[in-house]
Amino acid sequence: MKTRLLTLGLFAATAATVAFYPAVRQAVATTAKPVTTPSKGINPATIPPVAAANQRPQIEVVFVLDTTGSMSGLIAAAKEKIWSIASTMASAQTAPDIKMGLVAYRDRGDAYITQTIPLSGDLDSMYAKLMDFQADGGGDGPESVNQALHDAVNKITWSQSPTIYKVIFLVGDAPPHMDYPDDVKYPVTVALARQKGIIVNAIQCGQDRSVTADWQQVASLGQGSYFQVGQSGNAVAIATPYDKKLAELSAQWDKTRLFYGNDEEKAKQAEKVAATEKLHKEASTESQARRATFNASPSGKTNFLGENELVDAVASGRVKLSGLPKKSLPESLQVLSPAAREEFVGNAKKERSELASEIKKLSEQRNDYLRQKVVAEGGKKDSLDAQLFGAIRRQAKDKGLVYEADSAKY
């Protein structure tokens, strides 16, 4: 009897709770103040944007690079240092997603005025295009800086999110043409950049005084930093005993990638593979080692895998190998039996894991070696590396990206 009464009591209490809960919820909804509404007297513009708790911070960076003849040393340095810059940005306490783009510029009458590489997390493809740029043209003083900045702000597809660190680095050694009547002058363009939440930095190469005032104004208007480097960039260029092995392991690691999808997706993936093969053939051993270090970081995963990478997709459970149409598979798997495909992908996963572990270990040893060398040489405070890191560290903190003082990679 007691058991029956207890059961009836619990039933009644449960029913009452179910009936009462919507009313409580409605009362809370109508009386509680939204937490996102700022208090009276507080300017919403002064509240720093915060990314969603489950979202990685993001960086979008575009280099606006003078590619005229006098910039040969800096262009060579850029080809060597892009991966170091990416690794430096990746070293934040919370690893960010990184996209890079490029606007190369010369002047009217040269082979081109500007050439644009859009923002992308596929740094391999961006780098393969950067490798094609050679210093040429110019020689007559001012260059089309106004057009280059205009294209960087308006032709690049920037994110609209206020939580993303969006930044331009203008790099050149000649002043802008301010005498072209149909140009949008840089003060107008930089003001638009500020409206879009894009910081504009200015890096002057060399010591031409006719450049300094404009470059300083660009940085001032763009809420960025101005700094001066030597004509060759003063980049840290130190070979290490680990570079050759890292380059070799990286090439093997890339070969574990298997891509799947429809014909259009496969064509896109083939372009990425071609870009990777190009850099293994043409990039320096040191640059390949820097790329391996970046790819081994959490931020480098996007660049390493690209889109529709089969081994990762199967390992993560996003797709089942047996559920994919045969035609969507890589050709090397289409000729195998279902059991042999599973074994092939499993072996690729194991090999990839072993290679990744070895690359990470060597990358750490390489970083320690370089850090000691830089300290022994006085810290290289005037180098392109140090000045870029200083600007990134100062500016990115407003977007929640925190860098330790010794986070720079070389």
Same domain, 140 and 251: no
Same domain, 153 and 229: yes
How many C-beta atoms surround the C-beta of residue 162 within 10 A? 13
Q: What percentage of the chain carries pLDDT values higher than 90? A: 83
Q: What are phi and psi of 299, to 5 degrees?
A: -70, -25
pLDDT band (50, 70, 90) for residue 139: confident
Same domain, 387 and 366: no
Query: Which residues are bridge partners to 98 per DSSP?
Result: 59
- Residue 52: alpha-carbon gap to chain centroid: 19
Residues whose CB is less than 8 angstroms from the CB of residue 342 and which lie 6 or more positions away in sequence, other chains included: 321, 322
Same domain, 368 and 394: no
According to DSSP, residue 309 is labeled B
Identity of the amino acid at 329: L
Burial class (CB within 10 angstroms; exposed 0-12, middle 13-18, buried 19+) of 407: middle
Same domain, 344 and 222: no
Same domain, 314 and 344: yes
340-388: per-residue pLDDT in tens?
Answer: 999 999 999 999 999 999 999 999 999 999 999 999 999 998 899 999 9
Same domain, 134 and 64: yes
Find out whether 216 and 255 touch, Cβ atoms under 8 Å: no
Domain membership flag for residue 42: no
Domain membership flag for residue 178: yes
Domain membership flag for residue 21: no
Same domain, 198 and 255: no
Domain count, the chain: 2
Same domain, 367 and 302: yes
Domain membership flag for residue 181: yes
C-alpha distance across the termini of the chain, in Å: 80
Q: What is the mean pLDDT of residues 323-334?
A: 96
Task: Give the dihedral sign, CA 339/341/344/346.
Answer: negative
Q: Write out the two tokens for 324.
A: 């994919």
pLDDT at 9: 40
246-279: per-residue pLDDT in tens?
Answer: 999 999 999 999 999 999 999 999 999 999 999 9
Same domain, 87 and 200: yes
CATH number at residue 229: 3.40.50.410
Same domain, 231 and 266: no
Domain membership flag for residue 405: no
Same domain, 186 and 151: yes
Domain membership flag for residue 68: yes
- Ranking 14-23, 139-148, 330-339 by mean pLDDT, the lowest is 14-23
Domain membership flag for residue 407: no
- Residue 48: alpha-carbon gap to chain centroid: 22
Domain membership flag for residue 43: no
pLDDT band (50, 70, 90) for residue 129: very high
310 lies in which domain range?
A: 243-372
Average pLDDT, the chain: 88
- Ranking 36-40, 76-80, 286-290, 334-338 by mean pLDDT, the lowest is 36-40
**Closest C-alpha among 207, 223, 165, 220 to residue 70:** 207
pLDDT at 54: 56
